[in-house]
């Protein structure tokens, strides 16, 4: 229960509750995020050999860094229920998927619908029947 705190200026401030443990469904998501983060770390140490098709080393390195960040913040969120850590974990997982797949992930959805439509038309992604 929140306990009100009174200051000398007679202002009442409600204290926020300490970190609550995440629910089971959140822990399942965090477990998946931690696993994905840990499995993406070794990619920085095995670049694409010369003459073969694959992502550039910078993409592999960025994916590994985002994986490390998501694993660390995932563990913090699992143990403490810190909402900031939860949000950072989610953002890193979403952005890492975008980086590795060559798209900008969900952050591209912030564009206007008109620009998204033009992008789909330019890329040939539209299917007409």
The Cα–Cα gap between 108 and 77 comes to: 26
Q: Do 44 and 61 contact (CB within 8 A), yes or no?
A: yes
Look up tokens 């010369």; give the residue. 50
Average pLDDT over the chain reads: 75
> What b/e string do you get for 103-128 counting C-beta neighbours within 10 Å, with b at 16 or more?
eebeeeeeeeeeeeeeeeeeeeeeee
**pTM to 2 decimals?**
0.61
Q: How far is CA 123 from CA 25, 41, 100, 116, 119, in A?
A: 37, 31, 19, 11, 6
Residue 70 in 3-state DSSP? helix
- Over residues 40-91, the pLDDT tens digits come to 888 888 887 888 887 788 888 888 898 999 999 999 999 988 899 999 998 8
The answer on pLDDT for 96 being more than 80 is: no
- The stretch 30-46 carries a mean pLDDT of 89
Q: Name which of 37-41, 68-72, 120-124 the model is least confident about.
A: 120-124
- Residue closest to 63 by CA, chosen among 30, 102, 19, 20: 102
């Amino acid at each position: 229960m929140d306990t009100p705190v009174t200051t000398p200026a007679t202002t009442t401030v409600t204290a926020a509750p300490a970190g609550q443990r995440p629910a089971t469904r959140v822990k399942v998501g965090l477990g998946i995020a931690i696993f994905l983060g840990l499995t993406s770390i070794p990619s920085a140490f095995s670049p694409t050999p010369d003459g073969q098709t694959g992502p550039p080393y910078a993409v592999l390195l960025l994916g590994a860094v985002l994986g490390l960040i998501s694993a660390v913040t995932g563990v913090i969120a699992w143990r403490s229920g810190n909402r900031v850590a939860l949000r950072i974990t989610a953002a890193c997982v979403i952005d890492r998927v975008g980086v590795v797949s060559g798209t900008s992930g969900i952050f591209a959805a912030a564009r206007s619908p008109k620009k998204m439509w033009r992008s789909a038309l330019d890329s040939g992604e539209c299917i007409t029947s």
